[in-house]
Amino acid sequence: MTQQNHDVPDTETYDAAASSLAGQVDNSVMAELLSIRSSIDNIDATLVYLLAERFKATQKVGFLKAAHRLPAGDPGRESAQIARLRRLAEDAHLDPAFAEKFLNFIIGEVIRHHEAIAEDHQAAAEWK
C-alpha cells in the first residue's frame, strides 16, 4: 500500500495470499494451497453472516426471556440440541465431539448475552 486511500473499501486490504510459508515452498504447491484457502475464505464469510443471523435470533429469545423473567439457560433444550447436532454431524462426516464442543462454545456466548439483556431489562424496570 502507498498512502491511505479512503475510496478503497477496508476489505480490499485483505491479502488472500498472506502466508508465513511464502518463498519456502514450490510455486505449484503454493498455488494449490491458495486455491483451497480461497474456498475456506468463502466458507468463513458464510459462517460469519450465518452466526450473525443466529445471534439475531437468540437476541429475540433473550428479550422474550427477560420480559417474562425466565432463566437465561434452558438445560432441557440444550441437551436436545446437542443430541441432534451430534446426529447431524455424523451425517455430514464431521466429528460429533467437535460439533458438541462447537455448540457449547456458541451457547456459552448466548447465555452471556441473555444475562446482559436480563440485567439491562431489570435495571430499566427499577428505574421506572
Residues that bind a copy of itself (CB under 8 A): 10-11, 13-16, 18-22, 24-26, 29, 32-33, 36-37, 39-41, 43-58, 60-61, 64, 68, 70-71, 74-77, 79-81, 83-85, 87-89, 92-95, 98-99, 102-103, 105, 109
- The phi and psi torsions of 82 (rounded to 5 degrees) equal -65, -45
Q: Which is nearer to a copy of itself, 2 or 24 (CB)?
A: 24
Q: Where are the alpha helices (DSSP H) in 1-128?
A: 27-67, 75-91, 96-127
Q: Over the Cα atoms of the chain, what is R_g? A: 21
Minimal distance, residue 83 CB to a copy of itself, in Å: 7
Of residues 50, 106, 63, the one with CA closest to residue 82: 106
Minimal distance, residue 65 CB to a copy of itself, in Å: 8
